[in-house]
Amino acid sequence: MTSRRNFLAGLAAASLNPIRGWAAAGAPDYLAAALFPDGSYRLAGLSAGGDILFSLPLPARGHAAAAHPHLAQAVAFARRPGTFAVVLDCTTGAEIKRLNAPAGRHFYGHGVFSPDGTRLFTTENDYEAGDGVIGVWDTTDYRRLGEFPSGGIGPHDMRLMPDGQTLVIANGGIETHPEMGRTKLNLPTMQPRLSYLDLAGSILEQVELPRELHKNSIRHLAVRQDGMVGFALQWQGDKTQHPPLLGLHQRSEAPRLLSAPDAEQRTLQGYAGSIAFSGEGDTVAITCPRGNALHQFTVADGQLTGVFPLEDVCGLGPSPKGFVFTTGTGAVGELASKARISARPDCQWDNHLIPIRTSA
């Protein structure tokens, strides 16, 4: 009988293959935003080895992107509290459409397509009400169809679950307003939560952290093929405390929080940037750019299995052998038993590395 590990490995390897529509764009494995030496912000398509296959201009600094499940199209999102998202044809480099957040809204830098590619979902802030919303867009012409509540305040990252019918949303719990820039307005009362919603916006499940960790903002997500959700945290509380920055959750269960020993944990300065499961699915990792480190854990027992010093590391994605990472110094590397730099293009990579996956 095929082992669970081999089953997960097969699913992960299949999910890392670019689909046919993306072959015309050079068959990239990942998307990432970057700042280039000429001062331009661009969205790049990367091979697993770190080669830049294309780079397309953005109007300002980007954050993350969403890859269309069938077409060689990507949507690049502005960094919070930006109001633009750019739909790009990655074969021609043409800008198909520029999305503008409606009045009273701004984007949070993340979004996801429906499995059939007909809808785009975007995390947004209704900043006058202080509520999170999910924008819904028709991808035939990228007109806005409407919105629904995100299930919390400050929805940041969002992923589609393997069932193709459920969104998981990282409601970070932090209230902001664009007139105040990136200032956090409600730290004493913030309430982060994971929210599971169906594609029509109905809440299926809500998960909160223990009360003493209510200042631990849930920010970024990874989803394993069996539905396990990993979440990266950013601590907004007392800087003398060093709480866990990584969590795991399965539907209908309590979350598990993973942490390094205190001597290692305190160097991270309460900040995890990105999270990913390995290609085989048996390990999970977070990047910590303020601590210049990548931490790796085994999923089964939550044990720390590796601390890798990497300057300004933040972007992270799965590879068949482990992980691929990017840094603000321009490095692209792979982590298996050790971290190895495979390329160093002349650019500064932004926060995230987005895998281009086939649809289930």
pTM: 0.92
Query: What pLDDT, in 10s, does the model give residues 207-232?
Result: 999 999 999 999 999 999 999 999 99
Query: With 80 as the cut, is the pLDDT of residue 357 above it?
Result: no
Q: How does pLDDT run across 342-352, given as a tens digit for each residue?
A: 999 999 999 99
Six-digit token pair at 109? 């830098």
* Model confidence pLDDT, tens digit, residues 290-330: 999 999 999 999 999 999 999 999 999 999 889 999 999 99
Q: What is the pLDDT of residues 82-122, one digit of tens each?
A: 999 999 999 999 999 999 999 999 999 999 999 999 999 99
Higher local confidence (pLDDT), 287 or 21 = 287
Q: DSSP character for 271?
A: B
pLDDT of residue 199: 98
Closest alpha carbon to 288 in 269, 261, 301, 262: 269
**Is the pLDDT score of 358 beyond 50?**
no
pLDDT of residue 18: 65
pLDDT in tens, 155-166: 999 999 999 999
Beta bridge partners of 89: 73
Percent of the chain exceeding pLDDT 70 equals 93
CB atoms within 10 A of CB 226: 12
Q: Could you tell me if 130 and 108 are in contact, meaning their C-beta atoms sit under 8 angstroms apart?
A: no
Q: What are phi and psi of 156, to 5 degrees?
A: -110, -90
User: What's the CA gap between 276 and 246, in Å, rounded?
Assistant: 11
Q: Is the pLDDT of residue 56 over 90?
A: yes
Give which of 166, 162, 175 is closest to 194, Cα–Cα. Answer: 166
Of residues 34, 50, 51, 31, the one with CA closest to residue 42: 34
Task: Please tell me the number of Cα atoms within 13 Å of 200 on its side-chain side.
Answer: 2
Nearest residue to 133 (alpha-carbon basis) of 121, 142, 125, 141: 125
Sequence ranges of the domains in the chain: 4-355
pLDDT for residue 337 is more than 90: no
Compute the C-alpha angle 149/153/158, nearest 5°: 70
CA-closest candidate to residue 171, choices 196, 188, 147: 196
Q: Can you tell me the distance from the alpha carbon of 230 to that of 213, in angstroms, rounded to the nearest whole number?
A: 17
Starting from the edge strand earliest in sequence, which strands make up the sheet with 203-208, in order?
A: 155-160, 166-171, 193-198, 203-208
DSSP-derived secondary structure letter, 293: E
pLDDT band at 7 (very low <50, low <70, confident <90, very high): very low
Residue 16: which pLDDT band, with cuts at 50, 70 and 90? low
**CATH architecture of the region 4-355:** 7 Propeller (2.130)
* Phi, psi at 131, each rounded to 5°: -110, 150
**Phi and psi (nearest 5°) for 43?**
-105, 130
